[in-house]
Chain A
Amino acid sequence: MGMMKIFKRKKIQGIDDTHYLTLKEEIRISKENNKIIRQFERRKARRNVDESEYLTQMRDPSNVVEFDELHTYFYTEVGTVKAVNGVSFDIPEGKIIGVVGESGCGKSVTSLSLMQLVQAPQGQIVSGSIRYKASDGKCYDVTKMPTSEMLKIRGKDIAMIFQEPMTSLNPVFRIGEQMDEVVLLHDSSATPESARKRSIEMLNLVGIAMADKVYSSYPHELSGGMRQRVMIAMALSCDPRLIIADEPTTALDVTIQAQILDLLRSVMNRINGSIMLITHDLGVIAEMADEVVVMYAGRIIEKGSVREIFHNPRHPYTIGLMKSKPGKATQGERLYSIKGQVPNPINMPDHCYFYNRCDHRMEICSKAYPEMLQFSPTHFSSCYLYDENKVGDTKNVKESE
């Protein structure tokens, strides 16, 4: 061990142990990664792929997007990180789906998988499918689409709003140029003049007062809130069917946050599309979302309608989240926080990922990963606490300790 430290071996920091990779392991990992990555990259780079290869059927025609057992892994130099590890949920038409979870739980990677924008070559969609229903009624499996086809969906049918408005716009191009680009790219009948008109119309729509002036400004001349409005305007300019908003208000101050959320809601009514709202702010979810998906360490641990999640949370993690909202604490009381840390994403255990932090853990929890249980037509959670077949014959570990 001492020797290894001298040679600065790559370190894997676990919760209560630190593991150093030997040179042999490192070489093996790198070899395996290269092999796997090459396979995936080749697949994506194919040209003239027959449409039938990625055409599929929606499970429920009222959904825009269906995630089905999505696995997205990152092949890093210290091992495979299962950033998204079997995620399934639907985004119905005209609804706002909130995805919550702490940093690194895979919520952003889930959305990037839908856009095929996961940081390649390390990040790859390994298995599962993402079904997307296009406006012409055709249904595509995004995970199987070659990049060239994906370009037609990105920015047109599915648009994205990012967390950091300060850095998400290209600093050397004027706002107008960056907005026109999307219109000109996706609308073959657009001329520079019509694109300009469209962009200014969109800027007006998102409540920018001097749209003409902003149109010819550089990003650095605008405030953070303004830039986020520009990002929203840009996302709207091709009438998308789904907007992915990846923590759209995290980098903004509270008053601007409220304005941006109002804007998103009014926009949604206008375009009659869906929004996938990614956030770690439960307040935002409560205000905006119709349905909520709670993610933890790359998996969905609970999903349901806002009412169900907020009033009747089932999973101990969700319960903990609800308890740790500032509003619930009375004066003089410490704010509740879930003790412990998220397990190391490399070498994930086979049992429930919340095991080591859970107040209700039982013997069975250290065995196989719990199945999804259904509580209502919309409410699901994966926890042994509610599994009547299993819970009876196991005792609470905590009590026995």
Chain B
Amino acid sequence: MWRYVIKRVLLALLILLGVSALIYLLSMLMPADYIDNQTSAALANGSMTQDDVNRLKELYGLADKSFGGIIKSYYSWLISTLSGDLGFSFLYGKPVTEVISDYVWLSFLIALISFVLQTVIAIPMGIKAAVRQYGVYDYTVSVFAMIGTALPSFFLSALLMNVLSIKLGLFPLQGLTSATIVFAKDAHLEIFLDKAWHLVLPITVLTVLGVGGTMRFTRTNMLEVLNSDYIRTARAKGLSENTVVYKHAFRNTMIPLITSLSGMLPGLFGGAMITETVFAIPGIGYMALRATQQGDIPFIMGYNMFLAILTVSGMLISDLMYMVVDPRVKLS
């Protein structure tokens, strides 16, 4: 098994190398770089000359956009990354690792809560829908799940904001803290509750978006299991329908569920770019979107490598979980 893990890790390193090269090339080829974005106004009103801009580009290492130049700067990025230094974010003026570690936890918290909610809601719903296939419950749940999955996150966010915040005033519209309230320094509970109140809508959006997929996945797997021969054997033994479904079928349904859900765990650190942006939540996704728009290459690289590592480790975890939950699987 350890040989398998080592093999997978080595393969992952190769994938990460390819990913980094591709992203570096793409971000260097963006038509307007960070300096262009920052100086376009000054250049237009004459407070800066083209020479100043060029000097700045030289300073930031963005001057040479030839293929050879990109390769050279990629090489230097790679060397410093391997030594653990992801560089300085242009936009945030801090080391990239620091920006990531500062903002990732809020995103993780939001994602974790909605992940737990989504799992707890979707799995029982999927099982019940499968047991009552083509019944009223099945159709109702499926339709709502499909609606939830089909809605774009920005649309659902906008809808909830409009109805629940603007019209009904139940929840704050955006941000993480109320700007209008001044808290005492030691009012930790109030500050915490205020933040939690701000997070209700984003978490709701992420949960609603995720429930549909997990529910359908559970339902499909459950149906497949319920039609299998060993379920008929279990019934022929005289077991009650509940034992058949919740013991014999459920254990088998859990195999693909656990593996796919555990594969999603690392991804929870990645941030929800669109939802965080719509709600102006200062999470890692929001920071990354801003950095990408501005052409902040060190941060784009750092963030995307972070995502790539999360994805690769998610896949590895998922494969390892197969071995844990399914006695038939031996990894070698």
A residues lining the B interface (CB < 8 Å): 115, 117, 147, 151-156, 159-160, 162, 164, 167-173, 181-182, 185-186, 218, 220, 231, 234
Contact = CB atoms under 8 A, between A and B. Distances in A.
Contacts of A167: 228-230
B59 to A, nearest CB: 62
A313 to B, nearest CB: 33
Nearest to A244: B236
Interface of B: 228-230, 232-241, 248, 251-252, 255, 325-328
A155 B238 contact: yes
A220 B328 contact: yes
A162 B229 contact: yes
B237 A171 contact: no
Contacts of B239: 151, 155, 181, 185
26 contacts: A115-B236, A117-B232, A147-B241, A151-B238, A151-B239, A151-B240, A152-B238, A154-B238, A156-B238, A160-B236, A162-B233, A167-B228, A167-B229, A167-B230, A168-B230, A169-B230, A170-B230, A170-B234, A171-B230, A171-B327, A171-B328, A172-B255, A172-B325, A182-B237, A220-B328, A234-B237
Contacts of A147: 241
Contacts of B236: 115, 117, 154-155, 159-160, 162
A170 B233 contact: yes
B253 to A, nearest CB: 10
A189 to B, nearest CB: 17
A186 B230 contact: no
A220 B238 contact: no
A154 B328 contact: no
A35 B251 CA distance: 34
Contact of A154 (B230, B235, B252, B255): B235
A162 B238 contact: no
A245 to B, nearest CB: 12
B248 A170 contact: yes
Given A170-B248, A170-B252, A171-B252, A154 B237 contact: yes
A148 B246 CA distance: 17
Given A151-B239, A153-B238, A155-B238, A172 B233 contact: no
Contacts of A156: 238
A152 B248 CA distance: 19
B230 A155 contact: no
A85 B144 CA distance: 42
B324 to A, nearest CB: 12
A117 B238 contact: no
